[in-house]
Structure formats: structure tokens, C-alpha cells
Amino acid sequence: DGGITQSPKYLFRKEGQNVTLSCEQNLNHDAMYWYRQDPGQGLRLIYYSQIVNDFQKGDIAEGYSVSREKKESFPLTVTSAQKNPTAFYLCASRGVLGTGDGNTIYFGEGSWLTVV
């Protein structure tokens, strides 16, 4: 089935530790996104990538890093510099703007990250 796969679903991080969240899509979409969701707040954009080997910071990029070596994959690393990482993380992708598929963002199932 076509879609976006995030893993792991649940992840625990110790203080000072880096962790990486995986995101894979088989929709052949160029654009991919990482959002963070906290209770009572809208989705906030961490990073986005519109093409392989290129990515841009979103509104809350500090303490996070990404890579886009393949079209299908857009992993997010939460570094120890992110002081409050406990949140629900959502990966998403979008088709080409101007096409029928370009007007919808599709989401993965999300990853819950908790600092212990």
C-alpha cells in the first residue's frame, strides 16, 4: 500500500542522548516535512525538504537535524541541544504543487518521544 511509514511509534530518550526518527514514503512525493505537535498548540514546522539533497529550516529547527539523501527517506534527529523534546512528531509529504496531489499533505502515523 502507498503511504508514509514512521518508526518507532514510541521512543524514550535519556538526557544528553541523540535519537533519530525514521520516515519513509512510497508515494513518489518530492516534498517532505517534519512537524511537532504539543497539547493545545497547532502543528509547528521543524524542517522541510522540497527535493533530494536539499532541506530548509522551519519555525522551530533549533536542536533538530535532518537529511534527505533519498527521495523516499527523511529522517529526523533530535539532538541533546533540544531541551524540551517530549512531543508527538509527525512526518508528512506532498505531491507537486499545481497537480491534484499537490494540494494535500499526507501524514505518517506519528512518533511519540518522551524524555526519561
The site for other proteins (CB under 8 A) is made up of: 40-45, 48, 56, 58, 88, 90, 97, 103-110
Q: Please choose, from the candidates 9, 12, 16, 14, the residue with its C-alpha nearest in 3D space to the C-alpha of residue 91.
A: 9
Nearer to other proteins, 85 or 108 (CB): 108
Nearer to other proteins, 8 or 17 (CB): 8
Provide the 8-state DSSP code for 59: T
Nearer to other proteins, 80 or 106 (CB): 106
Q: Cβ of residue 66: shortest distance to other proteins, in angstroms?
A: 15
Q: Cβ of residue 31: shortest distance to other proteins, in angstroms?
A: 9
Measured CA to CA, the distance from residue 40 to residue 45 in angstroms comes to 16
Which residues touch 61 (CB under 8 Å, ≥6 apart)?
46, 47
Q: Please choose, from the candidates 69, 64, 66, 72, the residue with its C-alpha nearest in 3D space to the C-alpha of residue 93.
A: 72
Q: Cβ of residue 22: shortest distance to other proteins, in angstroms?
A: 15
